[in-house]
A and B are shown apart, each in its own frame.
Chain A
Amino acid sequence: MASIIEQLINGLRSGSIYALIALGYTMVYGIAKMINFAHGDIIMVGAYTLYVAIYGLKMPAIAAVFFTIVVCSVLGVLIEKVAYKPLRKAPALAVLITAIGMSFFLQSVALLIFNANPITFKSIITVPAISIGGITISGITLVTLSVTLICMVALTFFINKTKAGSAMRAVSEDKAAAELMGINVNKTISMTFAIGSALAAVAGIMFVCQFQSIKPTLGALPGIKAFVAAVLGGIGSVPGAMLGGMLLGVIESISKAYISTELADAIVFGVLVLVLLVKPSGLLGKNRVEKV
């Protein structure tokens, strides 16, 4: 019994990282109707930025965390301005290819600066593990879960209760109509990229604090898993991304523990295929009526 609960917690921990990243995919898709495949690499940039901030610039941990979030947000906005904005009227395929190009570009730059060898990184989170009735929860797990929860609550509040959040919802509903209503669409899209990248930075920080090792390709796998999570939850839906991320982590952990480690990925993708067959818009996605 204790083991099952611990496995569930393991799943929630990796799931919350997927969820943080999936939020970025889903928000960008909701607003700009494109998949930002460079999003996973923002995590990697976040990890290296944190490393440089702490070991290179000798910043205190809190300042380094803020610095990392700011750097990633600016980078997100920059990527949008440089690589995606000029293609806003282009066919979806062109945008997809640019996004993949951007992803390789970021990895190559990291490879040039830091080379391929993994760098060890001492976790900046030093929370002791707690034990309740034979269940041990590591400090990093506690922090990851709480940080994710805080981010999610803050984001939900932001989207539903603030003016800028309303603007985001309006743009995602109908770009042209929103513009007519006096909403600055460009600014809103930039803001979405900034928020998505900031969440990716948080995910990156959590990731290096857990695994304590940084390499140029570290964002690739969590990035693709988070993309799957976003689709599973219903791409474009913010609660969907949160649910999809958590669900993905738990399914992965439970299949690894009780079915087979080898099949875990197959099961995760199998679930995705199943959901898409039954409900093509994803778990919480809205069925859009296509206007002809």
Chain B
Amino acid sequence: MKKFMKKAFCLSLVGVMAVGALTACGTKNSGSTGEGNTNGSADSGKFLIGGLGPLTGEAASYGISVKQGAEIAVEEINKAGGVKVGDETLQLELKFADDEASGEVAMSAYNSLMDSGIQALLGTVTSGAGLAIADKTNEDGILQITPSGSAADLTQYSNAFRLCFTDPLQGETMAEYAVKTLGYKKIAVIYNNADEYSTGVKEAFTAKVKELGGEVVAEEAFVTNAVDFTTQLTTIKGTDAEIIFVPAYYQDAAYITTQAAELGITLPFIGSDGWDGVLANIVDPAALEGAVFLSPFLATDENPAVQSFVTTYNEKYKATPDQFAADGYDTVYVIKAALEKAGSTKSEDLIKAMTEIEVKGLTGDVTFTEDGEPNKGAKFVEIKNGEYIAKTN
């Protein structure tokens, strides 16, 4: 009898494990918003936009922000009567899937979005996932706009557009800021050499710094999921660097600045747009005091459109929107503008219309080039007293 009990117990444990593993997968996918209608064909009076971004994992904050920003835009447009395409008025619908910022997951999520009949793709949020599906979306000929993916190659195909700055452009802008605006000559860099975004920004940055007569005195690498940066920081401490540039995501930036403070490093930090969201991920914001990073959007901007978006976002999600939320919002409006200009829901017409539209967005007024790149200005954000402040210079 005892033996039987033991066996039964073991079996039930195996059962619990299996259920645990399954439900773990289940929660990962529950972030997608399949709001009923999944056939989403054009003649049902609807235009179905597919969204792709990380809703879980390291970069989850970006994906969730983009999704929520896009949802607000969709609601707003539908409330105002929808989008007039030719002589039809369409309601927008967003179906957002989780790609965990991973290429493989993005591919399968993209395929299932296509199966559910999406007509344009808002995504991906991160560069790595976007590069993984670029060939496929081009093959499918669908209009793809990445709200925040900044790797240069993301727009290599004619169907792909981008709303944010490219990695090289970011690197160059930050190099100019460090050398020309702030007047530093000796610069240290800590970057993730296993990440396209980080290496892309870093390469353009170091090249531009040299061109401007500065010197990169330390180039320290780390790999994804690293948590210990003390070795790199100690090396930098041993150089005569005057400033540290960290082109990386917010989680890394939080670790690096905290550990720098512990090691007694008082050099100023500058970062790339991946820093957005860093304040929510750091225990002691004092470690970030005075840090400056590039961002196309700031919630404290006095622009009425921005303020109205911030209010709506706040009411709906009980949070302050970051640049990714604004990128998501703007991307939906770009799709709307392309639909109206094209007067058609066909991807080829939409792609053609992209270079002819001008959108006044929260992240600036934007037009698109033939190469799929946006034309818009850069903004700097400074962290002061634990808050993001628009930097005017």
Contact = CB atoms under 8 A, between A and B. Distances in A.
Interface string B208-226: 0000000000001111010
Contacts of A10: 228, 230-231, 234
Interface string A114-125: 011110111100
- The range of chain B's interface size is 35 or more
Nearest to A122: B283
Interface stretch (A69-77, A105-113, A198-206, A281-289): A105-113
Nearest to A110: B24
Given A111-B24, A118-B251, A212-B283, A7 B258 contact: no
Nearest to A258: B235
B254 A261 contact: no
B254 A7 contact: no
Contact of B234 (A131, A257, A265): A257
A151 interface: no
Interface string B230-252: 11101101100000000000010
B378 interface: no
Given A122-B283, A213-B255, A3 B238 contact: yes
B287 to A, nearest CB: 10
17 contacts: A3-B234, A7-B235, A82-B10, A101-B17, A108-B20, A108-B23, A112-B24, A117-B56, A120-B283, A129-B263, A136-B263, A140-B262, A213-B251, A218-B227, A256-B231, A257-B235, A261-B222
B183 interface: no
A39 interface: no
Nearest to B61: A117
- The range of chain A's interface size is 35 or more
B105 interface: no
B357 interface: no
Given A105-B20, A112-B24, A123-B283, 8 more contacts: A6-B263, A10-B228, A101-B17, A108-B23, A120-B281, A131-B264, A136-B263, A257-B234
A261 B232 CA distance: 8
A190 interface: no
A221 interface: yes
Given A138-B262, A221-B225, A261-B223, A253 B231 contact: yes
Given A211-B255, A257-B234, A262-B193, A86 B60 contact: no
Given A116-B56, A116-B60, A7 B24 contact: no
Given A3-B238, A261-B222, A138 B251 contact: no
B79 interface: no
Interface string A208-222: 001111000110010
A212 B58 CA distance: 15
A122 B284 CA distance: 8
A123 B24 CA distance: 29
Interface string A23-45: 00000000000000000000000
B60 A211 contact: no
Contacts of A82: 9-10, 13
A15 to B, nearest CB: 11
B60 A213 contact: no
A14 interface: yes
A121 B282 CA distance: 9
Nearest to A139: B262
Interface in A234-292: 253, 256-257, 260-262, 265
Contact of B24 (A11, A108, A217): A108
Interface in A73-111: 82-83, 86, 101, 104-105, 108-109, 111
A86 B230 contact: no
Interface string B47-62: 0000000001110110
A56 to B, nearest CB: 17
A104 B227 contact: no
B202 to A, nearest CB: 13
B57 A116 contact: yes
A101 B13 CA distance: 11
Nearest to B10: A86
A256 B283 contact: no
Given A105-B17, A138-B262, A6 B220 contact: no
Nearest to A264: B231
B21 interface: yes
A233 to B, nearest CB: 21
B6 interface: yes
A212 B251 contact: no
B24 A13 contact: no
Nearest to B225: A221
B231 A257 contact: yes
B274 to A, nearest CB: 15
Interface string B12-31: 01000100110110011000
Contacts of B24: 108, 111-112
A149 interface: no
A139 B231 CA distance: 16
A2 interface: yes
Contacts of B255: 211, 213
Contacts of B13: 82-83
A116 B13 CA distance: 24
Interface in A129-155: 129, 131, 136, 138-140
A281 B220 CA distance: 36
Contacts of A257: 231-232, 234-235
Contacts of A261: 193, 220-223, 231-232
A86 B10 CA distance: 9
A256 B232 contact: yes
A32 B279 CA distance: 46
Contacts of B58: 118
Contacts of B57: 116
Contact of B235 (A3, A11, A118, A211): A3
Nearest to B14: A101
Contacts of A217: 225
Contacts of A122: 283-284
Contacts of B263: 6, 129, 136, 138
A212 B258 CA distance: 9
Contacts of A211: 227-228, 255
